[in-house]
Every structure is written in C-alpha cells, then in structure tokens.
Amino acid sequence: MKIRSSIFLFIIVVAALIALVLWHGKKQPETLATAVETNTVSPAATVKSSAASAPVQASTPPAQLVTNAPPAPPQSKWEQLQPILATQNDIPIIFYGRLEDQFDSPVVGAQVDASVRIYNSVRSTVERFSVTSDANGLFQINHGKGESLTVVPQKAGYVLATKDTVFKYSHLEKNPFVPDQNNPTIIKMWKLKGAENLVHFQNEIRTPIDGSSVILDLETGKRVESDGDIAIQVESVSNPNVVQEYDWQVKIKAINGGLISSSDDFEQMFQAPEAGYDSEFVVDYQKGVKPWSTTFSGVFYFTSRNGNCYGKLGIEILSDVIKNGDVPVILNSYVNPAGSQNLEIDPGKVTEAQP
C-alpha cells in the first residue's frame, strides 16, 4: 500500500510540473509582445529625433549625383540622309506643258505618259499615270510630291523629237526645275510625212593618219577616187601617248555639197535642212588644250552630188587605236538618193549598201 501511495504521489507531482511548464510558455510571448509594444517608436519620430540630434551636413553637389551615361552611338549614313530627303527631295510635282510639231502647230489629243519618281525618307517608288493634250496642245500635271517627273507624249503619225523630257524638281539638284504657268514647257513632236526609200550604210573604215583623203560613196558603201559623197582626213602621231596627250586633227568634207553639225539624236534627224551647209568640218585636238580627247564623235546632215542627194551621217574616230599607220573610223549613214530632204525611216523602205 505504501508503494502504491508513493507512485500516486509521483504522478501528481509530474502532472503539476507539466501544467506549470505549459502556463509559463504561454505567458512569455504575451509579456514580450507587451514589452515590444511599449518600447516601439514611430519611424517619423525616429527620423525627426535623429535629424534634430545629428550635426548639419552640406548637401551633395548635383554633379556627383549624375551617372556618367555612355555616349550615343553615331548615326548611320541613312539616318543622316533621312531628314535631308524628307525636306529637299519631296517637292510638289506641278508641270505646265505644250506639245508642238515641227511647224509650231499644236499637237492635239496626244496621250502624255507620265511617271513621278519618289525617293524620300519613307518611300522609294515610281508612280505612273497619263494625261491628254487639249485643243491648244496644252497639258497640266499636279501629282503630289516627288523627286523628278518624266513625260513621254505619243500620238499616231508623230514621233517625239525633244531629246530630254526628264525634269528634276529635287532641291538637291544644282538647278531644280521650276514650273511656270505663264510659260509652258515646249515639247516637240515630229509630224511624219511618210517615209521614202533610203539607203543605209554602216561599217568601219580604216583611215591613214598622214592626212590622206578617204572618199566614200555612201549609196554603195565603197571607196572611190573621186565624186562620191564624203571625204575624211585624219592627221595624228604614230605613237600616241594618252597620258601626255598629243596633237591630232579631223577633216570631213562633202563632195559637191556641204555639212551641218547637229546636236539632234541620230534616230530623230527626220529631215535635212534646205540651207546652212558648210563645205567642210574641221576639229583640232591640241596637247594641253581643253577639251581634249582621243576620240571624235559627231552627227551631221549633209548634201552632196550638187544637191541631188541629202542624208545624215554619224561618225566616230579613235585616234589612239593605230594599226599599220591607220585608225578606225566608224560610220553610220542614211541617204535619200531621190534628192528629197525626207529622212524618215521605215525599215520596210530601207536598202542596205553592199560594198
């Protein structure tokens, strides 16, 4: 019985100890929370107190607060070009034109095919459209903005005779085109009369450089001793030095006729003039005198055989290509053997000269 009583007493003591431990553990956090709550000071009060107690210091200079940012990368050529194109290459395309034939008469009802070149900082393209000439041969274009305008009029029975029909509006040009409503741009169109029979000769002729004449019959394409249509003379050095330059000369003569040097496009030389011919054409290239070139090229109207032949001649001479004492002379000619000034070309009415 004493043993049982001891055990029972022991159990009661252990239970009491456990209860005491549990009560103490619960009480401690509450006490700590109360202590924290009692001793907590608001952040604003802390800052204010610190500011009041700390010594006054000078503010940091702004320069020390700025971060040294890396320099911007250099612009590409395209990035530099964009603002220029946007302002200088985007110009209002306005055009006033008048179509005339070789007799200064208006070309009525012609279709004018036009194209505007656009090259700015946004687009690079070509816009195409067409307008029609009125009863006075006049036409007008007003088509947005662009860099340049090209016009190509066409009408049955006519051929475009004006060589350059591209108009540059860009302010990047040295002399940009400026439209003038009171002075329309004249564009010439040749009114075809109807082609006649022509003789065509095209070949390379070797010509000596000692000034000797080479006489050609352009109706047959053969060299002849006299008569014929054209005489060519070349005087030059036998050992040309292109770097140091050299003296040389070209003479072209019309046999019993004359020549007119022309700036027209060869294919658009439709009619030989009645008058204004010179008996010969001479060009000298002298060392050290500008313009100087190793090559001569030109186009001519000519008449020969005492006015019984009219034609047109294209000629090119290469003075620096010497072989056996002569140089190449490249010829292209059309003649009207009937004595007519008409040089319109219809391939069906052209005969090739056979030397």
Q: Does pLDDT of 16 surpass 70?
A: no
In order, the DSSP letters of 218-271 are: TTTTEEESSSSSEEEEEE--SS--TTT---EEEEEEETTSEEEEE-S-GGG--B
Residue 90 — very low, low, confident or very high, per pLDDT cuts 50/70/90?
confident
Q: Does pLDDT of 205 surpass 80?
A: yes
What does the alpha-carbon distance between residue 281 and residue 250 come to, in Å, rounded to a whole number? 8
Report CA-CA distances (Å) from 328 to 105, 118, 292, 322.
43, 44, 19, 8
Residue 122 — very low, low, confident or very high, per pLDDT cuts 50/70/90?
confident
Mean pLDDT of 178-197: 95
More reliable by pLDDT, 101 or 26: 101
- Take residue 300 and report the two structure tokens written for it: 């001519």
- Take residue 183 and report the two structure tokens written for it: 């002075």
More reliable by pLDDT, 121 or 299: 299
pLDDT at 113: 98
Set out the domains of the chain in order of their start, with CATH numbers.
78-191 (2.60.40.10), 198-352 (no CATH)
Mean pLDDT of 114-143: 93
Q: Does pLDDT of 172 surpass 70?
A: yes
pLDDT at 18: 63
Strand runs labelled E in the chain: 91-100, 111-119, 124-132, 138-146, 148-154, 158-160, 166-168, 185-191, 198-208, 214-217, 222-224, 230-235, 248-254, 258-262, 280-285, 295-304, 309-318, 326-336, 350-352
* Percent with pLDDT over 70 in the chain: 77
Residue 5's CB is within 10 A of a number of other CB atoms, namely 9
Q: Whole-model pTM?
A: 0.67
Q: Does pLDDT of 291 surpass 50?
A: yes
Mean pLDDT of 152-167: 94
Q: Which residues contact 12 (CB under 8 A, 6 or more apart)?
A: none
pLDDT tens per residue across span 33-60: 444 344 444 444 333 444 444 444 545 5
Mean pLDDT of 234-257: 95
